[in-house]
């Protein structure tokens, strides 16, 4: 019997919606695509973003401090943990239901609340640039800086937003447990929102005021689990060079060297496609036989079969 392909699939924000009702509807569609891969004989591990959700939680926690002066502000690391749990709750229930609907009753589904260690001296901490949460006017922004020590920056003429560091993931703390669960045949949801960012202080793990890019965390998880595929889902079916220009060209198959050349030429937008391509290149170059794929959620099965998407390999 052929060994099952092991896949880490990174869900983008469009796979989860922006509100609770949207999320409950979105995870049903998402689950169908994931279970399609399982029916194809793949072992699947799921990661996901949390951009809208962590912002919503952060705003709710701020509102609580306005209602109750005794209520301390909630650290961003705790907000990430909250987002992992409530996204995982909806996602694991939808996946379980879809598996049962197809008569698959022997695959347990579980969410692992995952901490990801970052380095305290990561240069990202000296240049916080990741905007989170809602917009504020200048007066409100100054108050946030004074009251909570937030770094607030003007965002494209739309107002001020809190910005936080986005350091690179260095270690997945719960990797041993995740690996055991995967080896046991569980369908695991892990590293949600890039993982809860922590720094190591002796034996203590301290939450960091940061948001880890979920694509980089997914790449690290895929390497640690010795996955065959890393699938990064996004809003387009394939990656393009000269995107939006008359000479736009959609790409189907890229070597690591070709992708690096396109990155150097500035074809991929920072904060959008660039981190996805960087993560794909990191994974594909980490070991012979590993493939990264960037495509749409509903095209993931076709992508694995080589019918669509952009594939990265050595």
Which residues are catalytically annotated?
13-14, 130, 214, 276
Closest to 82 in 3D by CA, of 62, 55, 109, 64: 55
Residue 294 φ then ψ, to 5°: -115, 125
Q: Is 255 helix (H, G, I), strand (E, B) or coil?
A: strand
The separation between CA 3 and the C-alpha centre of its own chain, rounded to angstroms, equals: 27
DSSP string, 195-220: -EEEEEETTEEEE-SB---HHHHHHH
Residues in the chain: 314
Rounded to an integer, what distance in angstroms lies between the CA atom of residue 266 and that of residue 273? 11
- Element of type H or E holding 244: none
Rounded to an integer, what distance in angstroms lies between the CA atom of residue 172 and that of residue 195? 8
DSSP string, 121-165: T-GGGGS--EEEEEEE-HHHHHHHHHHH---EEE-TTS-EEEEEB
Enter the tokens of residue 182: 């995967």
Rounded to an integer, what distance in angstroms lies between the CA atom of residue 273 and that of residue 235? 10
Tokens 């965002």, residue?
155
Rg of the chain (C-alpha set): 20
Rounded to an integer, what distance in angstroms lies between the CA atom of residue 314 and that of residue 306? 16
């Amino acid at each position: 019997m052929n060994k099952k392909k092991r896949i880490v699939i990174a869900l983008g924000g469009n796979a989860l919606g922006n509100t609770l009702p949207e999320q409950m509807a979105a995870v049903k569609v998402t689950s169908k695509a994931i279970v399609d891969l399982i029916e194809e004989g793949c072992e699947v591990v799921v990661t996901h973003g949390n951009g809208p959700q962590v912002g919503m939680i952060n705003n709710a926690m701020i509102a609580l401090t306005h209602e109750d002066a005794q209520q301390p502000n909630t650290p961003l690391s705790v907000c990430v943990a909250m987002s992992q749990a409530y996204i995982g709750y909806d996602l694991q229930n939808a996946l379980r239901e879809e598996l049962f609907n197809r008569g698959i009753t022997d695959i347990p589904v579980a969410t692992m609340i995952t901490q990801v260690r970052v380095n305290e001296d990561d240069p990202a901490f000296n240049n916080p640039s990741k905007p989170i949460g809602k917009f504020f006017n200048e007066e409100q922004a100054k108050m946030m800086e004074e009251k909570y020590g937030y770094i607030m920056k003007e965002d494209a003429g739309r107002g001020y937003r809190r910005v936080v560091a986005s350091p690179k993931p260095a270690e997945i703390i719960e990797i041993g447990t995740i690996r055991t669960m995967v080896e046991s045949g569980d369908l695991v949801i892990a590293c949600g929102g890039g993982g809860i960012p922590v720094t190591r202080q002796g034996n203590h793990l301290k939450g960091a005021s940061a948001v880890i890019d979920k694509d980089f965390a997914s790449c690290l998880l895929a390497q640690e689990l010795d996955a065959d595929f890393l699938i990064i889902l996004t809003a387009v079916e394939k990656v393009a060079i000269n995107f939006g220009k008359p000479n736009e060209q959609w790409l189907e198959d890229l070597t690591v060297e070709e992708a690096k050349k396109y990155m150097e030429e500035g074809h991929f937008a920072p904060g959008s496609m660039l981190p996805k391509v960087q993560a794909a290149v990191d994974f594909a170059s980490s070991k012979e036989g590993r493939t990264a794929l960037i495509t749409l959620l509903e095209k993931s099965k076709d992508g694995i079969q080589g019918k669509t998407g952009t594939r990265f390999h050595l």
